[in-house]
Chains A and B, each alone.
Chain A
Amino acid sequence: MTGLFSEVFLSALLFGAVTAAIPLLLAGLGEQISEKAGVLNIGIEGMMLAGAYLGFVGAFYSGSLWLGFLTGAAGGAAVALVMALLCVRIGLNQIVIGIALTLGLEGLTALLHHFQFSRSYPRLPAADATVIPLLSDIPVIGPAFFKHHLIVYLAVALVFGMGYIYRRTQLGLNLQAAGDKPAALDVAGIDVVRTRTIAVLTTGALAGLGGAYLANVGAGLFIPFITNGAGFLGIVLAMLARGRPIWVLFGALLFGVCLSLTTAMQVAGINIPTDIIQMLPFLAVMIMLVLFGRRASLPAALGIPYERGAR
């Protein structure tokens, strides 16, 4: 039992929690934008997978992690473009298209990976950590939170950036109006379809970035189905966060701890069947839904395509 509470173990657990939380955070923040604007983006799992695959390929061939993040974000946005065309512009059912995109991308990325790498799973070199001076010297917390890749700090900064956009900018007002009362936005002279398209594309880019981080930094490689439900957890986070980015961060960290525990307990050799440990994150989802789900308030026009002057 001593191993479980040692300093090294704890900081490794928390370090793993942050690493696991970042893709969820990016997916959750992305989903939040779409939902604010009234689009339920079930396809986010597919966008993450596209980001993970293209992000890995970009980093693998260029040797640059940053270029990998860029191709990953572009891949997610490309999938989102399909969603925007079908669901926002043409007004098809968002749930059906979202599921189709997720299933389609699961197959497509697995297939492309097989053509390219056959059965081998090449690894990327470990990501460079940006060590924050002074803070990283704090015992336990230092190595857990302040020795990450630069993109981790940027993702956390994005939380506050999104908060600012939602509460203090014209764009934030437009997004919220598009989700709560699109007709009011339309008569105010703002194009609802364009506003929602921007939101969906941003979602795709953030989800793709999350996928790229998951593959390039979290795992260091791409395997088919690598996201393993991270996009769906992002949807849960966005719904529970009630439009507040900071709650997405807290939720992502909580799920991150659960995911990290799964690995840590296996490493520590604790005698619990791995199947049960792997259930932890999803158990946490259910507990959170029971505790907070009833208070989750969703935009009034979520999931409803906008049609001007419909009668």
Chain B
Amino acid sequence: MSGFSSSSVAGRDIVALEGVTKRFPGIVANDSVDLSIRPGEVHVLLGENGAGKSTLIGMLSGLQQPDEGRILVDGKPTPITSPRHALALGIGTVFQHMMLVPTLTVAENLLLGGPWWQRPRTEELAARVAEITGTLGITVKLQAKVSELSLGEQQQVEILRAMLRNSRLLILDESTSMLTPKGIDELGALMRRLVEQGLAIVFITHKLKEAAAFGDRISVLKLGRKVGEIPPERFRALGEQEIVAEIVELMFGKQKDDPEAVERPVRTARAGAAPLLQVADLAVAPTDNAPGLSSISFDIRPGEILGIAGIDGNGQKQLAEALAGQRTATSGSVRLDGAAIETLSVGERRRRGLRYLTDDRLGEGTVGTFPVSINFFLKQVGAAPFWRNGVEQRAEIDKRATQLVREYDVRTPSLKTPVARLSGGNIQKVLLARELAEGAKVVIFNKPTYGLDLANTLASRQRIRDTAARGLAVLLISTDLEELLGMCDRIAVIANGALVGTVENVDDARTKVGRLMIGLAA
């Protein structure tokens, strides 16, 4: 094996990944990823949520170990066994969530990790900090408590800490997600100065513009796989617009060997029919940790599938919850089959035929410790025929549950099995069975195939198509563009809580939707 590493092209790499695979129960977070990290380069890792960026960082920083493949440091295969080991190898990480102790001062945080019997070397620290901050052009208040600093200042402290430990490789995990635009520009300038000093930087982001503006080399991750790389030579040759276009192609383009490849959607929309769901000017106020919605308007006709595309976290969940009645709308109207429902309760909307399949299957979708049978009827608890005078009718429940298990092909050991013990795909089937049951007119699917394996993904998609074919109106929210392109009649793109455009799903829809998603006009 040693002969292999010396002959590899990665002679100049500080750190290289070779075929690294990491699995978590139910998902493959990284699938045979290769990566080469070199001094003097900002290597951008680009990908949506769930693309496997954070897992990759966890393995580089010693928090997790790869299941397959290997990591080379200075050309030698080196398992990174712990955070301490990563630091010793010169790999410093600035995590997405701040890793500073809020109750300690900046100086104390920087001193953390020294030998426990020593007195903290405050004077030595001050001298070294002055030296480093001088060359980087940043200022750091050593005596301030971390909890009093802005997020941008905290990040500078973390970068400074990595420098104090003589890091050769600095990993920045989603570092711009909590910064102001000014802070982002400052970080970009700081990264440039750091690589000019010979450091290697891995910069993780899901924002295309940052990748194009700050990077030297870009690797694109998609669903755990590396789908492409733009090396520095190409990077320099291309203009920013061309780079963005190329990344869009990598991120949203069709893979040739994609097993999920689907034929063109079957059109079942009934052109002349009146819309089943009409949403006009729907708005939701933003909260501390979620964006609001503004002036959302769309119609869905019977048999039609309307897709909602967008980068995760742009208001998709808020939209679904506002329609289902779980989130209070500040204005706007929602009409189901012509009747206004925006003031009705969650339960009443459901009774009128509006169904919502949550993406949070175990959290709000099911009660994990309850048996499969009861989970089929969670939204009918107390209602006849399954409950009479407040008493559970076990026979009725089991009879209907047996039918549903057969009809929806739920693989469960028994009706009494707690639903949390089933696989994600089978939990999804329980939810499908419950929400598509009698009386459904409009169904909202929120990320219906997220985290499912291929067989269950395909089954769920077929179930959604069948739903539309029955003449129901379907709203399909997904972050998987392939899925939307393979199923929808029209695709609307959501960004920052607003629909920025709606595209008919015809030949050039892929490019149009991709451009809308990253903030360019269609």
Residue ranges of A at the interface with B (Cβ–Cβ < 8 Å): 168-171, 173-174, 176-177, 180-181, 183-191, 300, 308-309, 311
Contact = CB atoms under 8 A, between A and B. Distances in A.
B114 A180 contact: no
A311 B61 contact: no
Given A168-B119, A170-B111, A185-B112, A176 B84 contact: no
Contact of B102 (A168, A174, A181): A181
B5 interface: no
B120 interface: yes
Contact of B112 (A190, A300, A308, A309): A190
Closest 8 CB pairs of A and B: A188-B113, A189-B84, A309-B63, A184-B99, A188-B112, A171-B116, A187-B83, A181-B101
B101 A184 contact: yes
Most chain B beta-carbon contacts within 10 A, residue among A171, A188, A308: A188
A181 B100 contact: yes
A187 B112 CA distance: 10
A182 B116 CA distance: 16
Given A170-B120, A177-B104, A184 B64 contact: no
The winner among A171, A173, A187 for most chain B CB atoms within 10 A is: A187
A163 to B, nearest CB: 15
A187 B61 contact: yes
B259 interface: no
7 contacts: A169-B120, A171-B117, A174-B116, A187-B61, A187-B93, A189-B82, A189-B87
Contact of A173 (B82, B93, B95, B120): B120
Given A171-B117, A308-B63, A180 B95 contact: no
Contact of B117 (A170, A183, A186, A188): A170
A179 to B, nearest CB: 9
Interface in B84-128: 84, 87-88, 93, 95, 99-104, 108-109, 111-120
Given A177-B104, A189-B87, A308-B63, A169 B99 contact: no
Contacts of A177: 101, 104, 112
A171 to B, nearest CB: 4
Contacts of A188: 83, 87, 99, 112-113
Interface string B70-87: 000000000000111001
B365 interface: no
Contacts of A186: 83
A177 B112 CA distance: 8
B58 A309 contact: yes
Interface string B357-374: 000000000000000000
B24 interface: yes
Interface in B283-327: none
Nearest to B116: A171
A173 B103 contact: no
A187 B103 contact: no
Nearest to B114: A170
B157 to A, nearest CB: 11
A169 B119 contact: yes
Given A170-B117, A180-B102, A185-B112, 11 more contacts: A170-B120, A173-B108, A173-B120, A174-B112, A184-B100, A184-B112, A186-B83, A187-B63, A187-B95, A189-B113, A309-B64
Interface string B328-370: 0000000000000000000000000000000000000000000
A101 B104 CA distance: 33
Contact of B99 (A173, A181, A191, A308): A181
Nearest to A308: B63
Contacts of A184: 99-101, 109, 112
Nearest to A186: B83
B236 to A, nearest CB: 34
B114 A187 contact: no
Contacts of B108: 173
Contacts of B82: 189
A262 to B, nearest CB: 38
A171 B84 CA distance: 17
Contacts of A174: 112, 116
B119 A311 contact: no
> Which of B100, B109, B112, B118 has the most C-beta atoms of chain A within 10 angstroms of its own C-beta?
B112
A174 B109 CA distance: 10
Nearest to B118: A170
Contacts of B95: 187
A173 B64 contact: no
A308 B115 CA distance: 21
Nearest to B55: A311
Contacts of B87: 188-189
B42 to A, nearest CB: 22
A200 to B, nearest CB: 16
Contacts of A176: 101, 103-104
A176 B103 CA distance: 8
Contacts of B63: 187, 308-309
- Tell which of A170, A176, A191, A308 has the most Cβ of chain B within 10 Å: A170
Given A183-B99, A309-B63, A173 B104 contact: yes
A186 B101 CA distance: 11
Contacts of B104: 173, 176-177, 180
B259 to A, nearest CB: 27
